[in-house]
Amino acid sequence: MPISDFRKKKLLYVFNVFFEQYKKTYESMIQIWDGLRQRADANKDGQVSVEEWASMWNEYAKNPENALEWQTQYLRFMFDLEDASGDGSIDVDEFISVCSCYGLEPSECKEAFQKMSCGKKEVNYEQFVALWKQFFTSENPSDPGNFIFGKTKF
């Protein structure tokens, strides 16, 4: 069956949307991974072990203001992912839809959102930055920053 102009236009539209989005996401992930590997892969075996990962975040916790470039990119990446609408803040529906993709129950994600936002409707970038630091540095299980990935218990 020949492809009509109408179908060509539809396919072209999806092509652009799919590959633009995919390329953007892929390039950020590659940059993040490269940065991570350079810093975390202490024994240079091309892999990042749990110990290497943990000790790198322990370094970060000593001075979060001085985060590595890839850590800042990772933070931005996660915020942009959770702010699905791109309006500059994360609301509960966006949060649930993104975090439940990692296999969490929507009810847990909802609870996590309420805890991280301290009952507010939205979390903006500035607030997210503070919560992010808390996630990687806090030893207190009830700090709001612990809930930024949708999980309520560790």
Q: Could you list the residues that contact Ca ion (CB under 5 A)? A: 83, 85, 87
Smallest gap from Cβ 104 to Ca ion, in A, equals: 19
Smallest gap from Cβ 71 to Ca ion, in A, equals: 23
Cα dist. 125→29, 38, 41, 90, 119 in Å? 20, 27, 29, 8, 17
Give the residue with the Cβ less far from Ca ion, 69 or 87: 87
Smallest gap from Cβ 94 to Ca ion, in A, equals: 5
Q: In DSSP terms, which residues pair with 123 in a beta bridge?
A: 90
Give the residue with the Cβ less far from Ca ion, 52 or 83: 83
Give the residue with the Cβ less far from Ca ion, 21 or 85: 85
Give the residue with the Cβ less far from Ca ion, 95 or 136: 95
Cα dist. 95→6, 56, 81, 140, 144 in Å? 36, 27, 9, 23, 15
Smallest gap from Cβ 81 to Ca ion, in A, equals: 11
Contacts 24+ apart (CB under 8 A), 98-105: 98/150, 99/149, 99/150, 99/151, 100/150, 102/149, 102/150, 104/150, 104/151
Q: In DSSP terms, which residues pair with 122 in a beta bridge?
A: 91
Smallest gap from Cβ 132 to Ca ion, in A, equals: 17
Give the residue with the Cβ less far from Ca ion, 49 or 85: 85
Closest residue to Ca ion, judged by C-beta, is 85
Q: Using CA of residue 133, residue 58, residue 80, residue 140, what is the dihedral sign?
A: negative
